[in-house]
Amino acid sequence: MLEKLTIIAPGLLGASIGLAAKERSLARRISVWARRAETRESLASTSWCDESLESIAETCSGSSLIALCAPVERIIELAERIAPTLDSNPIVTDVGSVKSKLSRHCSAALAGRARFIGSHPMAGSEKTGMENASTRLFEDRTCFVTPLEESDPDARDTVKSFWQDLGCHVIQENPERHDSIVANVSHLPHLLASALASYLSTALPESGQFCGNGLLDTTRIASGDPNMWRDIVIQNRPEIVRAIDAFQDELQRFRTNIANEEDFAVLKTLADGKAFRDQLDAKPKQAQQ
């Protein structure tokens, strides 16, 4: 059990970490810092938050594990902000969906004051905010843990155990490999859903009158926060461009086979797609981000 778990920025993921950690007795004390005073006031009435202070330095003081749960573009800034105030050589992790630049900058910012181990729980929703938090958000979800070669092994193992205790299936990868994987399995699907929805908004604005569950299922994740996804694109631009290029090649082959009446090739693509989708049901659940 952790002596003190500190959560910085309690949105959907941060608040869900707190809820699940309290329910599973993973920490003796849970301290939370939020930038907005009204959020701190709301936290005071929750059963899972033991304290929510105005000072981020006081919130982090004496921590065993600090989870940076802000949007990905703010995580490095927060690591730099808390670094001079840390007094207990804590472990620091995060929930950012892009890891290469983030892991190296956070590790450098916290060097000598804390031990940083990057994390990315593949758990989320098109709904955001603390009010949508759930104790079950991480159950049967994949969580990447992305240490650097020089990372402290005890800190790495603690972070892996923490996510496992929250219910995750933990996969360890280096940050660069992580970014390549999620560009294909998380970022590309979201961008395709958004592009399809954007296309239909002009090509057939009345689509809602005609659509069935297929379109609803395919475009559900396009309801995610546009600002958050813009920042993910900025952070993982090279890998996302590579994924889009590879997919465009696949889509062009599919189009050519359809246009040329290569019906056996069309059937093979459809069958391969079905086989891949069917086997996903047997894998740990994945959620957007």
CA-closest candidate to residue 143, choices 129, 128, 115, 162: 162
Q: What is the reported pLDDT for 16?
A: 95
Q: Sorting pLDDT into bands at 50, 70 and 90, what band is 288?
A: very low
Phi, psi dihedral angles at 18 (to 5 degrees):
-60, -45
More confident residue, 284 or 42: 42
Task: Determine the average pLDDT of the residues in 14-22.
Answer: 95
Task: Determine the average pLDDT of the residues in 241-246.
Answer: 98
| Token output for 223 | 């309801």
Separation of alpha carbons 234 and 168, rounded Å: 27
Alpha carbon separation from 40 to 15, 99, 128 (Å, rounded): 12, 28, 17
Domain ranges of the chain: 2-176, 181-280
Express the helix, strand and coil content of the chain in percent, nearest 5 each: 55, 15, 30
2-176 and 181-280 in the same fold: no
Task: Determine the average pLDDT of the residues in 121-130.
Answer: 77
Indicate whether 287 pLDDT > 50.
no
Write down the number of H helices and E strands in the chain: 12, 9
Correct CATH for 2-176 of 3.40.50.720, 3.40.50.10260, 3.30.565.10, 3.30.70.1520: 3.40.50.720
Separation of alpha carbons 242 and 226, rounded Å: 21
Q: What is the reported pLDDT for 283?
A: 63
CATH number of 181-280: 1.10.3660.10
Indicate whether 126 pLDDT > 70.
no
Grouping H, G, I as helix, E, B as strand and the rest as coil, residue 3 is: strand
User: pLDDT tens digits, residue range 169-190?
Assistant: 999 999 999 999 999 999 999 9
CB atoms within 10 A of CB 261: 8
Share of the chain above pLDDT 90, in %: 80
Indicate whether 149 pLDDT > 80.
yes
123-137, 168-182, 187-201: segment of lowest average pLDDT: 123-137
Share of the chain above pLDDT 70, in %: 97
Q: What is the reported pLDDT for 133?
A: 79
Task: Determine the average pLDDT of the residues in 112-117.
Answer: 96
Structural contact between residues 91 and 119, judged by C-beta atoms closer than 8 angstroms: no
Q: What is the reported pLDDT for 45?
A: 85
Q: Sorting pLDDT into bands at 50, 70 and 90, what band is 125?
A: low
Write the DSSP string, 182-212.
HIIIIIHHHHHHHHHHHHHHHH-TTGGGT--
The strand pair at 142-146 and 118-121 is best described as: antiparallel
User: Could you tell me the strand order of the sheet in which 2-8 lies?
Assistant: 51-52, 27-33, 2-8, 65-68, 91-94, 115-116
User: pLDDT tens digits, residue range 200-232?
Assistant: 999 999 888 888 889 999 999 999 889 989 999
